[in-house]
Structure formats: structure tokens, C-alpha cells
Amino acid sequence: MHIGIIGLGRMGLNIAEHLLEQNHVVVAYNRSQEAVKRAAQAGAIPAYTIGELCLKLSAPRVIFIMVPAGQAVDDVLGQLKPELARGDIIIDGGNSNYLDSVRRGKALAKAGIHFLDCGTSGGLSGARHGACLTIGGEEAAYRKLIPLWKAIACEGGYLYCGKSGAGHYVKMVHNGIEYSLLQAYGEGFELLHKAPYRLDLASISDVWTHGSVIRSWLLELGAEKLKEDAKLAKVAGKIGGGETGGWTLQEARRRHVKMPALTAALSARRASATHDSVSGRLIAYIRNGFGAHEMQMKKGRKTGKKE
């Protein structure tokens, strides 16, 4: 099928390349012309304005947006809306607040434009090789795009969650769980680091990935990083992010759900700005592993992307 992609950062470009590998036609736009050129080298049809992208797509258009949450999404939609027609479908694949997605869906519906909110999980590897998608919005529009969901997602990795906002709501809670899991791993390995034994953290993390109750992809990423830096001495314990976890906690309070694990994880993230810890170092490493999130190396060199 034909699809437009707006936003060619790490996630957007990887999704574009994944679709191109499966012989889908991708029209690609980004504010940076260099990013558009990279997509064109991978086989995408380049577009250097949003208007050009819309002209190069046949009706009904399908456009996947992968830009930072907040004003950036509204800016893109503001530029898109005059170029679109009734029956076109817009997908927001970023980490938008679900309430924003509800608002955007209502506004676009008045013009006959379908809006789907799509929580995209799996990090850079998922974007490139098969992601996990949770989708909200009009079910009929979702069903029209089942070939697209199958192309982007890993096997069994897409789900229609409900009306507008549901996809991003589920992704928000997913991220809250992720924060708590990362904090639990960080705390556990800090205790192992300070144990009255000479423990090999790399070997422990590796053996735990083989059959243990707490095995997971996050632990596998931690094991990989510990092989490179067994004493967690090369990276600072400053942990970025926190926005989607904060939204999860706000929603939990509105719904009278207690989330002490997430509360502690968010508190630890705030404290990490001024307090270095083994726990924070491992979490920073794992976040860099799945999303190339920025981390501060001990000698002052930063690596990865900003939030």
C-alpha cells in the first residue's frame, strides 16, 4: 500500500525502512532535508513540504506521523488539514497524551478526516523489524489499515483497543509499567553491587535471562551493557524522560488507583539529576539500549538522543 510518513527521526526512519523492505510505497517528509535524503536513499519517495507529500499520495491518503508529543503534533496537523480530503486517514504513532488524541480526533472528524492514535512500542529494534502497536479511533478506519498494521508490527503485535484515545492510553500505562520495571532492576543490581561478596553482575544478569522468573527484554539489554561495563563505571546515573510516566500517575490518581512502584520510580528519576547511583547508571544504559535515549558518560561525553 501507499503511505506517507511525517517525521524521520530514529523511529520514523526505521518504520519507513521496514515498510520499504516489504515493498510498500513510502512518501517521506521531514523538516530536515538531510533526513528526507536518507529516506530516499532507502527507496522512499522524497517530499520536501507537507503539501508535496499530500500531492504524491493517492486518495484516500494514509499518513503516519512520528514527531514528538505536544505542540509538534498540532503544528503538523495544522499544516496537513488544508491539504486533506474527506476519507483520508491520519495516524499519530508517537507518545501523545491520550486526552490530546481525543481532542484531535474530534476536530478532524468534523472535516471527515479519520484520526487513529497508535501507541508504538519495541524501541528502535521494533520500529525496524516489527513493533507492538495499540490503536484507538474509529474501528472502520482501523480495519481498512490491517495490511499496514501487519506490515509494521511483529507477528501478533497489533491490537484495536477502542475509541479515540484508547491506543495512546494503553501505551501510557505501558510506559508507567516500564518505569517501574526499570527501577526494580536498578535497585536489585545496586544491592548486588554492594553485597558482601565479589559478585559478577554481568554473569548474574546473563544467567537470569535463561529461564528465571524475572527474565525480560529489558534484562537482556541490561546484560548486554554489563558485558561492556561490568562495574557500571563509565556512565553517570542521570535518567532522562519521565513525561509519560507522570501522565500515568496523574491518571491513576484521577481513577483512585494506587501506584507506589511508579511513584518511587518517578521520584528516583528526579533525584538522579543531582544524585549518582548504580541503579541510575543501569537504567540509563538500558534506556539507551532500547531507544537510544541520551545518557551522560563519566568523562562528560553524551550519547543518544534527547527526549
Residues annotated as part of the active site: 171, 178
Per the structure block, which three cell numbers stand in for 214?
524475572
